[in-house]
A = this chain, B = another copy of it.
Amino acid sequence: MATAQASVSDVCLAARDASRVLATLDGATRNDALHAMAAALEDRAGEILEANHRDMEAAQAGGLGPALLDRLKVDEGRLLGIAADVRTVASLPDPVGETIEGKRLDNGLDVRRVRVPLGVVAVVYEARPNVTIDCSALCLKSGNAIVLRGSSTAAHSNAVLAQVAAAAVASTGVPEDAVSLVSGGDRDELRQLATQDGVVDLIIPRGGEGLKAALNEHATVPVMYAAAGNCHVYVDRTADLDDAVAITHNAKVHRPGVCNAAETLLVHSDVAADFLPRALAALRESGVEVRADGRARDCAGPLGDSLGDATDEDWATEYHALILAVKVVDSVNEAVTHVNRYGSGHSEAIVTGSMVSADAFTQGVDAACVYVNASTRFTDGGVFGMGAEIGNSTQKLHARGPIGVRELTSYKFVIQGCGQVRE
């Protein structure tokens, strides 16, 4: 593994050399490396926990809050979980080498589009040491070299974890530089990493909006942003109202802090007076604060007076909390327009009995995942059968929705001839 003393440029060039070897290795060899990585995490648990202990002490002394301390912490149970996840990644189908499509041209040339690794993937993340291993495993599975840049808060943990991973893969004949770490201390380092044109093939930020903004300003290499989610449930006039209550409740309450939770409920005016009193009672029972527009309050029955006022700011807000904005609309088209105006393109649901409304919503809504009669909470690479995911994209280029190992690949055309020249 290239060390933190090397320049960012040197680390990335070494990663590129490693990526070119990785591209020629078969899936069994890459899986051997993953199993070696999992075993090394268990065998070298002592070193890892000790390094994490040092980070934890410094973070406590520095006054880090309990939520962030919990993210930073690695104990034996968590470490075994991380190792188990690496073995799960190893068990996924090999995404590399698949012929995506092939055809024989009239001149006899066989043209095949073949899935290949991207090359060098950089992952920039905050103080969660498990990301070091999770992302290394996904990149190795997909034949990519990874350059990690973690937070200085987790510097000791990340240094040991990356070194353990690199040594393990090297023990199986995979280049050690398949996994490298840059130190994470220096802000200029991020800019250097983000401008390694022709060397780093993709940067994935896993962190807050500040990190994304910094990359959007400086990056000249491609970036894939893990997404915010301002998600909606729309209850159509033909909805089964039992389903609608259950889906609304699940989308809001099941795990309110995640990006596929619902933030706004849209209700067709024809069913608002039937639906809203039931839905709001169920939400209130789970402690949800509701902010409604005037028409929704009028249809809310006895609960109407207790609701907050929804403003334009509410429509645009991802609460990450037990708060739900509610609005009455007069058509599926009005719902689509609202979703496209305020949504973040993540996960959107319609509850309806009408095929016409379902088609209008799925075709009209511009989002990564569009649900008919199901909760938005299902958006997840694991749930979708893609194996583990490295994030969720709301971009439209390359990968949209869950980013699994296959989304960490590119393709090349391989053309087999027998002497053909162009006339």
Question: Closest CB of chain B to A409's CB: distance in Å?
Answer: 9
Please state if A415 and B370 are interface contacts (CB–CB under 8 Å). Answer: yes
Q: How far is the CA of A371 from the CA of B418 in the complex (A)?
A: 10
Contacts known (A220-B216, A377-B422, A397-B398); A372 close to B201, Cβ less than 8 A: no
Please state if A397 and B201 are interface contacts (CB–CB under 8 Å). Answer: yes
- Which residues does chain B contribute within 8 Å of A217, judged by CB atoms? 220
Question: Closest CB of chain B to A94's CB: distance in Å?
Answer: 14
- Which residues does chain B contribute within 8 Å of A375, judged by CB atoms? 420-422
Partner of A413, one of B222, B401, B410, B422: B401
**A364 touches B (CB below 8 Å):** yes
Q: How far is the CA of A415 from the CA of B361 in the complex (A)?
A: 12
Please state if A109 and B378 are interface contacts (CB–CB under 8 Å). Answer: yes
Please state if B364 and A421 are interface contacts (CB–CB under 8 Å). Answer: no
Instruction: Please encode chain A, from 368 to 395, with 1 for each CB lying within 8 Å of some chain B CB and 0 for all others.
Output: 1111111101110001110000000001
Question: Which of A76-84, A132-140, A182-190, A240-248 faces chain B?
Answer: A240-248
Please state if B374 and A419 are interface contacts (CB–CB under 8 Å). Answer: yes
Interface size class of A (residues with CB under 8 A): 35 or more
Q: How many copies does the complex hold?
A: 2
Q: How far is the CA of A371 from the CA of B20 in the complex (A)?
A: 18
- Which residues does chain B contribute within 8 Å of A420, judged by CB atoms? 373-375, 378
**A362 touches B (CB below 8 Å):** yes
- Which residues does chain B contribute within 8 Å of A24, judged by CB atoms? 360, 363-364
Q: What are 13 sample pairs from A and B whose C-beta atoms fall under 8 A apart? A: A23-B364, A118-B397, A374-B417, A374-B420, A374-B421, A378-B420, A379-B413, A383-B422, A384-B413, A397-B398, A397-B410, A400-B410, A400-B411
Please state if A118 and B396 are interface contacts (CB–CB under 8 Å). Answer: yes
Please state if B111 and A384 are interface contacts (CB–CB under 8 Å). Answer: yes
Please state if A412 and B401 are interface contacts (CB–CB under 8 Å). Answer: yes
**A367 touches B (CB below 8 Å):** yes
Please state if B369 and A413 are interface contacts (CB–CB under 8 Å). Answer: yes
Contacts known (A109-B378, A375-B422, A422-B377); A400 close to B412, Cβ less than 8 A: yes
Q: How far is the CA of A249 from the CA of B423 in the complex (A)?
A: 12
A395 nearest CB neighbor, chain B only: B222
Question: Closest CB of chain B to A315's CB: distance in Å?
Answer: 16
Please state if A247 and B421 are interface contacts (CB–CB under 8 Å). Answer: yes
Partner of A421, one of B246, B372, B400: B246
